[in-house]
Structure 1
Amino acid sequence: MFQNIKKTYNEFPQIFWMVTIISFIDMLGNYILMPYIALYVTSRFGVGLTQVGIVWAIVGVGNLIGGMFGGALTDKLGRKFMILFGLIVSASFSIVVIFVNKISTLYIVVLVMGLMGSIAGPARSAMVVDVLPVEKRTEGFGILRITMNLAATIGPALGGFISKYSFSYLFIMDAAASFIVGILFFFVLPETKPKLKTDEIKLPETSGKKDGGYREVFRDWKFLLFVLISAISVLVYEQMNTTLPVFLRDTYAFPNFMFGWLLSMNALMVVLFQYLITKLIKRFSAFKMIALGNVLYAVGFGMYGFFETVPMFFVAMIIITLGEMIVAPYSQTIAANFAPEDKRGRYLAVMQWTGLVPTLFGVLGAGIIMENHNPLIIWYLAFILCMVAASGYFMLHKIHRNPMEANQSNKDNQEVQNIQNPQIIAAD
């Protein structure tokens, strides 16, 4: 076992493991705080769930805007600066929340937190893509998912213990984690933004082209189709953390602590099996695998509309988690491979829409259905939408067979670097 761990460690550059460890610390702070936001808002300001929903919607708007600016600035200013800027400002506003006494003021503060919290998102993803070769990106994002789920397993338990003393301590812990990560980023990690030198040697494919900013991204119709289909998939997946616990509680009197077990099982499965599954599926077509993952989503979420027993609720979550472990690593990798190196931040920023837009509208739509119609309809629709997404991914396989190959612009840039640095060719 030790030999396998050592082998896996040696397969990835040291800077990737640094990013992984630092990301774990940051995500741990996030998961200490986030599960208890709704409880904090309702108890601190004496408001209901509608106001909590408004808070989340404002955060979502901030995330959407921040991600777009962050993507462009990542390509211009570099990865390291954007990550440090986002960490420091978002940590500062986590402390500010403690001193907010009016819900209207909180709306403004969380808008800034949403902006700053997501402005560094494209830079983080771009840094991982920068340091990993194309063939290692799927496994790399799989390892990052393991890290995230390990934080998701530990964080809520720590947060629950800390919240017994004061909710304010949760914000302090989140801010402390961000400051620690900022210090580590500053002293440990180098800038990873690729240094392109196409101005010295012009190739026919790249000469004469101007930086089109987001216009170039929005002209990439295959990528936009991928984003649209992914948004449908995420729209359903997001119900796991929002609609599902309320549905199970109100429809079947499912205890909250047992739903905690469901989520813990989900996170533990990812920690234990994500890397193995990523290794097993990497030989197959990426879009076909994501289509399979969405079929598993359809079956798992659909089961909540047909079964009423606790054991079947756990079986459904196991099936959903299997789908998640197939879908998630491929999604980020494919998005990165669509992007030319000089537009990587922008592409990854647009990819964030797949999570932000469903967060804004998915929970609201599910709430309207639950309050005005048979709540089982949600899971019937979930089945249909996931099958639509699976069909969309299969269609993408037909028109874009090799999404695991980097954008041709990346190849052109590498050719330029090889011409400028003959020793690279000799080393190969």
Structure 2
Amino acid sequence: MHLLPASFRKFIAEYPALLWVRLFGETLTSLSSTMIAPFLVLYLSENISGSVTLTMLVIGLQPFSEILLTLFAGGLTDRIRRKTMLLVALLIQGFAMLGMAFADSIAAFAVLYVLNGAGRSLFIPASRAHLADTIPPGQMASAFALLNTSSSIGAAIGPLLGVILYKYDPAMAFLFTAISLFVYAAAVLWKIPQTPLPEWAEAAHEKAPRFSRGAWKAYRPALAIMTLSLPISLFYAQTETNLQLHMKNTLPDYLQALALLIAVKGILLILFEFLLVKWTQHMPARWLITASYGCFFLVALGYAYIDSLPLLLAMQVLLVIGESVGLTQLLAFVTRIAPSSMRGRYFAITGTHWDISRMCGPYLGSLVLLHYGGTLLFTIVAGILVIGAFAMHRYLTVKEKTFPLAQEG
């Protein structure tokens, strides 16, 4: 450590050890998981199910299970120590991925896919609530940016390795992901101290509102953010699934093109995400988040009408800008509006928009794609993003007055 430059040592010391363990784990797991993620639709449709529609239904099972478990998981996160939740969630995902490596039927794969979704439902709210408990409010956006950057490091390399694995043995990617999850769990067990809930949190939980008719007011901000974020997650749901099939029909070397697009996005995120967040952190969240909708709108139109790989690569710049300043600020905004004793539930509720879109989006999008083509599909998604931008901006304009921004530094 003493051999490192003083400025870097100071930077390391600014954040707690939890963040650096998370950075290690997220880099490792994103590297392995992105080996197969860009090609999952192709893998299932070509090697296991043989049907595009059945494949999309199976892919929708994991977010469906996450929706069912999200509220339970969020409440559990506010009652059980964070480290315990993180370990259980990582082990569940690890064993599910291990089973997927050897699954030879669509039914077996579907069951394991649902089990993996259960693990994600436990991990995501617990990890975000743990971060909110330990990071000062002014550093929250930059901490989320660092985590996203670490994931991007793996995501930049994983798809390129995934092309090789897909041609050799795609199931190996699931095995590598399982190993990375077990290593991540070992790092959490070794380096993160157990964190018992403070007495104030336990007392607050006893008074925390349940999901009864009279309690909806306490959860209304989280439900509003979740609903207004649906256009973004719908866009991502299509890029993660139906974009693969759309590019298969429009680009000659679509496997290499997909890997290159994801790798370029990952490299750009590594280089610029943290800097973009730092440069824009003093700007109003409503403008940053609204601008991200605009970036996603332009990218959706690009996917709809552009069939040139160089131009599609250029569109990744807009995608990175939108993801860096918009999604990171959205997570930081949730920490500002969430009561301390309800952070797990707030992150669980607001994150549900990803599960809703990933459950319904791929299947509904495939119907449009098969009958009318990818151009119309991504044009519709672009229109939904415009509507979402106006609605989110109006809502955040009101909320920013109630929850002012805590400045970093």
- The structural deviation recorded for 1:64 is 2.0
Q: Deviations over 1:86-128 (max 9, x none)?
A: 1122222322334444322332232222212322211111111
Q: Which amino acid aligns with 1:394?
A: H
CA distance in 2, matches of 1:271, 1:79: 28
Q: For residues 273-310 of structure 1, what are the alpha-carbon distances to aligned partners after superposition, in whole Å with 9 as ceiling and x for unaligned?
A: 00110011111111111001111221222234444444
- Once the two structures are overlaid, the 10-residue window that deviates more, 102-111 or 160-169, is 160-169
Aligned match of 1:115: 118
Q: How does 1:149-164 map onto structure 2 within 5 Å?
A: 149-162=152-165
> What does residue 333 of structure 2 align with?
334
Q: Deviations over 1:328-355 (max 9, x none)?
A: 1111111222211211111111122121
After TM superposition, the structure 1 stretch with the greater mean CA deviation from structure 2, 143-152 or 100-109, is 100-109
Q: How does 1:55-94 map to 2 (within 5 A)?
A: 55-94=58-97
Larger radius of gyration: 1
- Are 2:31 and 1:34 equivalent residues in the alignment? no
Match of residue 126, structure 1, among 101, 124, 129: 129
Name the SS for the 1:220 alignment partner. Answer: helix
Could you tell me whether the CA contact under 8 Å between 1:214 and 1:346 is conserved in 2? Answer: no
* Aligned: 1:248 with 2:247: yes
Distance in 1 (CA, whole Å) between partners of 2:52 and 2:126 is 33
Q: Distance in 1 between matches of 2:381 and 2:227?
A: 16
Decide which moves more: 61-70 or 318-327: 61-70
Match of residue 187 from structure 2? 184
- Preserved CA contact (<8 Å) 1:70 1:119: yes
- CA 1:180–1:374 in 2, change beyond 3 Å: closer, same or farther? closer
Structure 1 counterpart of 2:100, from 94, 97, 118: 97
Distance of 2:216 and 2:164 partners within structure 1: 45
Offset, 1:164:
5.7
- Shift of the 218–41 alpha-carbon distance from structure 1 to 2, 3 Å rule, reads farther
Q: 2:208 aligns with which of 211, 225, 245?
A: 211
Distance (Å, rounded) in 2 between the aligned partners of 1:98 and 1:259: 22
1:52 to 45, 51, 55: 55
Give, in angstroms, the shift of residue 2 of structure 1. Answer: 5.2
Q: Which residue type is aligned with residue 360 of structure 2?
A: F
- Kindly tell me: are residues 15 and 217 of structure 1, through their superposed partners in 2, closer, same or farther at Cα, counting changes over 3 Å? farther
Does the aligned pair in 1 maintain the 2:368–2:377 contact within 8 Å?
A: yes
Q: How does 1:217-296 map to 2 (within 5 A)?
A: 219-251=218-250, 253=252, 255-296=254-295
Give 1:327 shift. Answer: 1.0
Give the Cα separation in 1 of the matches to 2:327 and 2:90: 24
Q: Cα distance 1:184–1:391, how it changes in 2: closer, same or farther (>3 A)?
A: same
Partner of 1:322: 321
Q: Which amino acid counterpart does residue 392 of structure 1 have in structure 2?
A: A
1:38 Cα offset (Å): 3.8
Name the % identity: 18
Residue 141 (str. 1) matches residue 140 (str. 2): no
**What letter corresponds to residue 160 of structure 2 in structure 1?**
A
**Range with bigger deviation, 82-91 or 308-317:** 308-317
Aligned ranges 1:197-208 → 2 under 5 Å? 197=200
Shift of 1:39: 4.8
Shift of 1:51: 2.8
SS of 2:186's partner is helix
Q: Is the 8 Å Cα contact of residues 81 and 197 (structure 2) preserved in structure 1?
A: no
C-alpha distance in structure 2 between counterparts of 1:378 and 1:122, whole Å: 31
The verdict on how the C-alpha distance between 1:37 and 1:384 changes in structure 2, with shifts beyond 3 A counting, is closer
Alignment coverage as a number of residue pairs: 401
Whether the aligned pair in 1 keeps the contact of 2:38 and 2:258 (CA below 8 Å) is no
- The aligned residue for residue 375 of structure 2 is 376
* 1:244–1:336 distance in 2 versus 1, CA, 3 Å: same
Q: Which of the pair has the greater relative contact order for Cα pairs under 8 Å at 6+ separation?
A: 2
Letter in 1 for 2:152: N
TM-superposed CA distance for 1:316, in Å, is 2.5
Which deviations, in whole Å up to 9, do the C-alpha atoms of 1:141-191 show, x marking residues without a partner?
Answer: 011110111111122334444556544433322221111111211121023
Structure 2 counterpart of 1:108, one-letter code: V
Question: CA, structure 1 residues 9+404, in 2 after alignment: closer, same or farther (shift >3 Å)?
Answer: farther
1:360-399 mapped onto 2 (5 Å cutoff):
360-373=359-372, 375-399=374-398
Could you say what the CA RMSD is over the residues aligned between the two structures, in angstroms? 2.8
Give the letter aligned to residue 154 of structure 1: I
Give distance in 1, aligned partners of 2:193 and 2:185: 13
Match of 1:401, SS state, is helix
Contact 1:297 1:323 in 2 (8 A): yes
Q: Write the letter of the residue equivalent to 1:150.
A: I
1:70 and 1:121 in contact (8 A); partners too? no
Distance 1:164 1:312, change over 3 A: closer
Instruction: Return closer, same or farther for 1:199/1:375 CA change in 2, 3 Å cut-off.
Output: closer
Shift of 1:213: 3.2
Tell me the TM-score normalized by structure 2. Answer: 0.88
Change (3 A) 1:155 1:255: closer
Q: 1:249 to 1:38 in 2, by over 3 A?
A: closer
Q: How far 1:196 sits from its partner (Å)?
A: 4.1
Residue type at the aligned position of 2:331: Q
Rounded to whole Å, the distance in 2 between the matches of 1:406 and 1:50 is 45
**Equivalent AA in structure 2 for residue 125 of structure 1:** R
Residue 43 of structure 1 deviates from its aligned partner by 5.3
Separation (CA, whole Å) in 2 of partners of 1:33 and 1:303 = 24
